[in-house]
């Protein structure tokens, strides 16, 4: 096996690993998105909850005010009953009317605030329904993620072992060059030389689709390590192409 074919084994294992891991990445992205959405709903829940508590505290204050007013009114009524002069009586009556008017406003305010609290409670209930649904989706996404991890872990371990073995067959400097190329180009690090016109001996690169000069084509056909002069990928010869190019008499 020439060096290109030995490198091709490494490349094919790298592609299989990438394929397996991309499925896991997709599941991980979905899980991350669900977790993020759930966190947004949690934040909304907390904000609503805080608002409701603030309103409840305000209503409790207003109710205290009303109770104080009631106590004061009770006192005044007693004083009115005990009043000796008409003037005193009238002074108390004015105070009673003022207190009653104030109390009316406070009660109105409290009713308004309680109405607002009810609206917010309904919003909170609606939000909690959404939140429960989202939490279920998050759990499903998490399970999917773990399932996929378990699914591929055996195969990934196996492929990693195979890659170590395959890489041992490739000269170190060549492997390093390939790995640099793979880091940038991934799938396009290696490409088959494809036939443009078999009779005219015209070929092109399977990655960039540009024509391959005759001398590069010949070099590859004679088992030499060859890069595409245009995109620099490492060219290889597939079995079908080799078959198609080799004259029938030589097969």
Binding mask 228-247 for Zn ion (x = CB under 5 A): x-xx----------------
Contact yes or no for 6/170 (Cβ under 8 A): yes
CB nearer to Zn ion: pick between 113 and 230: 230
211 binds Zn ion (CB under 5 A): no
Q: Please report how close the Cβ of residue 196 comes to Zn ion at its closest, in angstroms.
A: 13
Distance CA 143, CA 15 (A): 26
CB nearer to Zn ion: pick between 74 and 187: 187
193 binds Zn ion (CB under 5 A): no
Distance CA 235, CA 10 (A): 14
Half-sphere exposure in the Cβ direction for 13 (13 Å, CA): 19
21 binds Zn ion (CB under 5 A): no
Distance CA 154, CA 229 (A): 39
Half-sphere exposure in the Cβ direction for 153 (13 Å, CA): 6
Q: Which one of residues 205, 220, 234, 237 is an interface residue with Zn ion (CB under 5 A)?
A: 205
Q: Which one of residues 59, 141, 193, 207 is an interface residue with Zn ion (CB under 5 A)?
A: 207
CB nearer to Zn ion: pick between 170 and 228: 228
Distance CA 1, CA 110 (A): 88
Residues near Zn ion (CB under 5 A):
205, 207-208, 228, 230-231
């Amino acid at each position: 096996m020439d060096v290109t074919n030995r490198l091709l084994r490494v490349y094919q294992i790298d592609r299989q690993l990438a394929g397996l891991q991309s499925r896991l990445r997709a599941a991980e992205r979905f899980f991350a998105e669900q977790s993020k959405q759930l966190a947004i709903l949690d934040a909304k829940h907390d904000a609503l909850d805080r608002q409701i508590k603030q309103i409840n505290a305000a209503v409790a204050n207003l109710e205290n005010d009303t109770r104080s007013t009631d106590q004061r009114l009770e006192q005044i009524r007693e004083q009115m009953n005990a009043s000796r002069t008409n003037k005193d009586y009238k002074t108390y009556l004015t105070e009673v009317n003022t207190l009653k008017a104030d109390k009316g406003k406070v009660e109105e305010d409290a009713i308004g605030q309680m109405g607002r609290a009810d609206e917010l409670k309904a919003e909170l209930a609606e939000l909690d329904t959404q939140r429960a649904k989202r939490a279920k989706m998050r759990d499903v996404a998490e399970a999917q993620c773990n399932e996929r991890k378990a699914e591929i872990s055996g195969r990934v371990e196996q492929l990693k072992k195979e890659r170590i073995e395959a890489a041992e067959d490739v000269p170190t400097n060549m492997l390093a060059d390939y790995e640099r190329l793979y880091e940038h180009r991934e799938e396009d690090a290696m490409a088959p030389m494809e036939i443009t016109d078999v009779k005219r001996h015209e070929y092109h690169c399977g990655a960039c689709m540009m024509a391959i000069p005759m001398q590069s084509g010949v070099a590859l056909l004679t088992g030499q390590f060859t890069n595409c002069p245009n995109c620099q990928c490492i060219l290889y010869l597939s079995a079908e192409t080799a078959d198609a190019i080799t004259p029938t008499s030589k097969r």
